[in-house]
Amino acid sequence: MGKRLFYRACRDVAEGEPGEADPEVVPLAHKVAGARSDTGGAQTREDLEEHVIRECADEFISALGDVEEQTWDKVVLGSETAVLVEFWVSWCGPCRLMHPIIADLAKAYVGKLRCLMVVTDQNQEVAMRYDIRSIPTILIFKDCERKETVTGTIANTALAATVDRFL
């Protein structure tokens, strides 16, 4: 889902009319709409929207683990369970939209799937090794090898279906 559609869903929920908003986005849109009272010093609508997404996304980041170049082989390739890794950077709005979706997957697949995050600009060697050219990019690993690559935003049901293929 694009940023504009996400913002529209947030606006519709805030106005009490979710209408045609994607049902997968409505729970996060409710969260965003509830957070709009805290403006974070934003002066424009765009600044406010960025602030709200940043604040909401930060809450979900804590549900995910971080992995770095130094720990990659042990944590990702050495994992006994399937591993989902999101390559992201802090200034990427679509990346932050994916955080709650991935956090929900982490909770739903406890013991079956490990969800991790790589800050791409701080771990460029790993990003180059896996040819990461766009963010967000999600890689799914199982049995020490990459099984799937997803680039861009993706609905939670579609990502869950992708993960299910490897569990």
Cis peptide before 18 (omega within 30 of 0): no
CB atoms within 10 A of CB 139: 21
Per-position DSSP letters for 76-105, written without gaps between them: IIT-SSEEEEEEE-TT-HHHHHHHHHHHHH
Q: Is 95 a catalytic residue?
A: yes
Q: Which of 10, 56, 95, 115 is catalytic?
A: 95
CA–CA distance, 12 with 25 (Å, rounded to integer): 11
Q: Which of 10, 92, 115, 144 is catalytic?
A: 92
CA–CA distance, 111 with 151 (Å, rounded to integer): 25
Q: Is 92 a catalytic residue?
A: yes
Question: Catalytic residue positions?
Answer: 92, 95
